[in-house]
Amino acid sequence: MTYIGRFAPSPTGPLHAGSLVAALASWLDARAHNGQWLVRMEDVDTPRCIPGADQTILQQLKLCGLVSDAPVMYQSQRNEAYQTALDTLIAKDWAYPCGCSRKEIEDTQAQLGHTRERHTAAVYPGTCRDGLNGKAPRAWRLNVQRVIDDLQLPTPMTWQDRLLGDQRQDVPHEVGDFVLRRADGLWAYQLAVVVDDAAQGITHIVRGEDLTDNTARQIVLQRALGLPTPSYMHTPLVLGENGEKLSKQNGAQALDLANPLQALNQAAQALGLPATPAHTPMVQALTVWIDAWGAAQ
């Protein structure tokens, strides 16, 4: 079987304990399948990126014995590929310009009586779907329902997660016409990730559980662009002491790699893998985990 996996960090800071779990899981899965493992720097959201964080991450990974099997791809250099994808969607009439500000979207939502849960983006009410009504174009959005109708995609969209099992999401109602290119001209994560996973021939995606919710819309985009859908597995998150997911945004500590084996042991434990005794050579520990991971599949 051809297997190409990847770890796709955003260089917004150094790796923390949670991101090492995702890195290790994707690496172990690739190794257990005798596959390739690629690292891709998702540096499209330039205002959030920190100069030098890419090198820090690569160095941290290397200290843990995790090295990309091919040169690292940088999303900041992929403008043309994203533009081509957007042009394809526009030519099919599946993408449209949107002139709404965030405030306008939220006001429309409020008028419709919709409240928004914490940490969720407002479902776009479709204001500009049939024209800009004199507004200046700001962002580009996918006309999700039209893609679904034209391609006769299932609603809700269903997919299988290797760990979480059957998943489903009604993309038009739960997510709405999501952004492909942002009002500030930057490419949206959803478009970039789908274009790059296909460009790199990724067959298996193993990533943190917090990204599960993005998968259905990525599958819709893959269908719209005529790209293959990889297999998906979302791994458990490491929670901080306050019970919230560890993230750079909520101040998770950078990994202390004075002792890489200890950091790896913690990540392995989060994945339900056996702990290896202190002073185990790292290569040996990684081999134990590859075997244990492979046996569990």
Residues of this chain that bind ligand GLU (CB under 6 A): 8-10, 42, 193, 207, 211
Torsion angle in degrees (nearest 10) through CA of 141, 117, 153, 86: 20
Nearer to ligand GLU, 42 or 54 (CB): 42
Nearer to ligand GLU, 29 or 42 (CB): 42
Minimum separation from the CB atom of position 254 to ligand GLU (A): 15
d(CA 209, CA 215): 11
Name every residue whose Cβ is closer than 8 Å to that of residue 51 and which is 6 or more positions away in sequence: none
Angle subtended by helix axes 17-32 and 282-296, to nearest 10: 70
State the pairing for strand pair 139-142/179-181: antiparallel
CB atoms within 10 A of CB 124: 22
Distance (Å) of CA 229 to CA 101, 187, 205, 296: 32, 21, 10, 24
Nearer to ligand GLU, 9 or 14 (CB): 9
Minimum separation from the CB atom of position 53 to ligand GLU (A): 11
Minimum separation from the CB atom of position 42 to ligand GLU (A): 4
Name every residue whose Cβ is closer than 8 Å to that of residue 93 and which is 6 or more positions away in sequence: 143, 146
Minimum separation from the CB atom of position 191 to ligand GLU (A): 12
Nearer to ligand GLU, 131 or 228 (CB): 228
Nearer to ligand GLU, 143 or 196 (CB): 196
Q: Is 153 helix (H, G, I), strand (E, B) or coil?
A: coil
